Chains A and B, each alone.
Chain A
Amino acid sequence: MRQVLKNTAIFAAASLLAGAAAGQQIADTGFKSVGRGWPLAADLRDYQMPGPTIPVGFANGAVVRGSWDQFIGSAHHGAAPKGVEPLPVDLFTSKDFYKDRELWSDPRYFRCNSPAGIEEAWGANTTATIGDNPPASAAWGYCDRDYPREAIVSPYPFKTAQEHYAALLAETTKRGGAHERPTAEQLEEWTGRYAHPGNTTDAQADFTGRNKSNNPQSYWYRMRHNQVPTILSLLTPEYQTRLVQEAYHAGNTNAPQWPSQYCWPEGFMRRWHEFAVWEWHIVAAPSVVQIVTGVARNFITTIHVDREFRMDGSVPRLGADVPRWYGETIGFWDGDTLITWTSDIQGWKVHSAFEYSNKMQTIEIYTPNRDRSGKFLGLNHEAIFYDPEALVQPIRIIRNYVKTSGFEEGDPYVFIDCVQTIFPIEGRSTPVSPGTVIQYEVPDMYGRPWAHYWEKYFEQGMEKPKGEDIFSFD
């Protein structure tokens, strides 16, 4: 009871603090910048989800499944939506998705499901919508719902993170602010605990009805607001294949491979995903800022202020030429705004989203959100992602974190050691009790281990494009 009251109080405090930032999707830089704070082409809160999904609730610590009268989607139990002609073969009926490549650009191939809708077909996060003859009886989403691609891609003219960072540094220098560090009072404002975007004003909008999106996070990366072909259009051909493979084994074979279920690394981009991180704990000093967060694994972002990357390796980096699961980050202050560049990232994946490569780099801008009186409310976090191997052009995610307290109160951050209890048994994630003897194939952690399970157990007979033969010397 005491804990419930405490959580309610924190949530209410966050809501009050967030009030003045309501609708503030974009940071207010106070000037027209060359590379930060540009408006979004569309506000996700104005867009409804394609689905299909049946929301769940939580009560007494347990999930409460929803019912079909709560269904968000256009048809279910194998029926097609009115006015939509199904394709002869789609993700839920195909025996070989590789062969269907020419259909991937048609939303009907995915039954107009969002990537998250596909994941939820078998009840991954919500209530199953797959129907009584799975997978052929999978439900349909709304084919006329899609968050615009132009609101996802970066609006900035830069081809690389290096160019972007240099332009922001030059701009800040020209304005007289480069390396101008925050005051002690401003650092104190930065330091503290921040609520997950699911507990911020945008989530509040759900309850007030202002947010049509039904998305507590109010940014696109959870993949609830797009048709799959729109996300595919962001990717290079190889990474398109990988995303369709992910979708096929989530929606068709029901063999999802979520890295954290095996205590595998979460990977860099999970920092933007739902439930991978919760509160942010930020410690800010003039020369270094550290953001600590996590749910199944720890995410520790250390921003080295006023350092420069070495440029002599395969990618820019601070330390040894070793790809790091969460990269290495440099940055500079512009007063109380922090502008960062992250590189040297280990490529990996995020379930229901797309894979990314070792060439991934980001520019991230943390700008204080303040109310009209100048009171610090939290941080606007704008991130631009550059990955020439996976992405056909840079993309952007913007979200707002609301500060809930300093460290004078509240629970400390709990360092998470993940202890594996779920193992892949014949390609399916399976909880295994102590004492059970299983046959275990050691994964090749740097060779898309999730794909190995799929290809070994669920893709026999498919015509997968052949990779290069490294054993050929002719």
Chain B
Amino acid sequence: MDIKRTTRGLVAATLTAAAVVAVPVYAHHSFSIFDASQTKTFTGVVTRVNPDANHLQIFFAPMNEARTNVERGADGKPIIWAVEMAGSAASAQQGISVSEFPAGAVFSVSLHPLRSGDPAGAREGALYKCPKKEPAAPGERVKWQPPAAGKNCDSVAGMTAIGAGFDPAQQAQQAQTARPGGSN
């Protein structure tokens, strides 16, 4: 018997089983609400992290193309999107938590949007968190360094990458055809 091959086979089988089991363990709703054929990429400002057990959600205001402010609706209020991912415990193990993503943090994420067109989606691939700026004075509010116009946080020196699957080159190409509220 080829022990190596058997072991590899077992590992592969275990991984496959884990992959199959993983989604039902965490999901508490059907993912059919999301359009997996579409991916949108955003750079946005965190407004809230909802650390629920089933799916951690980050609510955020997408930044404009110039990365100088956030997109706003006709009423002048920021447009808010939501991206959901694994449960809060699993997400925290990746470094995505209430304490690591405070309100005001700037980050980039890709997501599969809702089929309905409403502003929410399921995370796809990695997250990139832009770095903090040095405070101008002690005790001053922490501010974050947004990327350059048309860029995402993966392009900013000192950024934090969480997970994998976000291809900066591909995103740069996509950014050229970006639409307001995210790139398709």
Using a CB–CB cutoff of 8 Å, the interface residues on chain A facing chain B are 313-314, 319-323, 358, 444-447, 468, 470-473
- A320:B93 contact, CB within 8 angstroms: yes
**Interchain CB contact under 8 A, A320 and B92:** yes
Give every chain A residue within 8 A of B103 (Cβ-Cβ): 470
Q: Is the CB of B78 within 8 A of A322?
A: no
B47 contacts the other chain (Cβ, under 8 Å)? Answer: yes
B70 A322 Cβ-Cβ under 8 A: no
Write the chain B residue with the least CB distance to A444: B48
Residues from 9 to 47 in B contacting A, C-beta threshold 8 Å? 45-47
* C-alpha spacing A358/B61, complex, angstroms: 24
Q: Which A residues are in CB contact (< 8 Å) with B111? A: none
CA distance A472 to B78 in the complex (A): 12
A322, A444, A445, A471: the one within 8 Å of B88 (CB)? A322
What range describes how many residues of B lie at the interface? 20 to 34
Q: Within the complex, what minimum Cβ distance (angstroms) separates A244 from chain B?
A: 24
Q: Which residues of B contact A473 (CB under 8 A)?
A: 68-69, 143-144, 146
**Is the CB–CB distance between B48 and A447 below 8 Å?**
yes
**B97 adjacent to A470 (CB under 8 Å):** no
Q: Interface residues of A: mostly helix, strand, loop or mixed? A: loop
A314 to B88, CA, bound (A): 15
* Chain B residues numbered 69-122 whose CB sits less than 8 Å from any CB in chain A: 69-70, 78, 88-90, 92-93, 97-100, 103-104
The complex places the Cα of A321 from the Cα of B93 at a distance, in Å, of: 8
Which residues from A are CB-within-8-Å of B92?
A: 320-322
CB distance B97 to A321 under 8 Å? yes
Would A468 and B141 count as touching, CB distance under 8 A?
Answer: yes
Residues of A contacting B99 in the complex (Cβ-Cβ under 8 angstroms): 313-314, 321
- B90 partner residues in chain A, CB cutoff 8 A: 320
Contacts of A358 in B (CB 8 A): 98
Nearest-Cβ distance from residue A265 to partner chain B, whole angstroms:
11
In the assembly, what is the distance between CA of A413 and CA of B88, in Å? 29
Q: Which residues of A contact B68 (CB under 8 A)?
A: 473
Out of A313, A314, A319, A444, which one reaches B89, CB within 8 Å?
A: A319
A471 touches B50 (CB 8 A): no
The residues of B that contact A472 with a CB separation of less than 8 Å are: 143
- Chain A residues near B144 (CB, 8 Å)? 473
In the assembled complex, the CB of B57 is this many whole angstroms from the nearest CB of chain A, namely 10
Flag if A446 contacts B141 (CB, 8 Å). no
Q: What are 28 A-to-B residue pairs whose CB atoms are below 8 Å?
A: A313-B99, A319-B89, A320-B88, A320-B90, A320-B92, A321-B92, A321-B97, A321-B100, A322-B88, A322-B89, A323-B98, A358-B98, A444-B48, A445-B50, A446-B48, A446-B49, A446-B98, A447-B48, A468-B104, A470-B45, A470-B46, A470-B104, A471-B45, A471-B61, A471-B70, A471-B78, A472-B143, A473-B146
- A402 vs B61: C-alpha distance when bound (angstroms): 52
**Which chain B residue lies CB-closest to A471?**
B70
A313 to B98, CA, bound (A): 11
| Bound Cα distance A320, B96 (Å) | 11
- B48: chain A residues at CB < 8 Å are 444, 446-447
Q: B150 at the A/B interface (Cβ < 8 Å)?
A: no
Q: A473-B143, A473-B146 are in contact. Are A322 and B50 (CB under 8 A)?
A: no
**Bound-complex Cα distance A320 to B47 (A):** 22
A446 touches B97 (CB 8 A): no
The smallest C-beta distance from B124 to any residue of chain A, in angstroms, reads: 22
Residues of A within 8 A of B69 (CB): 471, 473
Q: Looking at the assembled complex, report how far the CB atom of A469 sits from the nearest CB atom of chain B, in whole angstroms.
A: 9
Residues of chain A within 8 A of B50, CB atoms compared: 445-446
Residue of B nearest to A317 (CB): B92
Residues of B within 8 A of A313 (CB): 97, 99
Given contacts A470-B45, A471-B45, A471-B69, contact A323 B141 (CB under 8 A): no
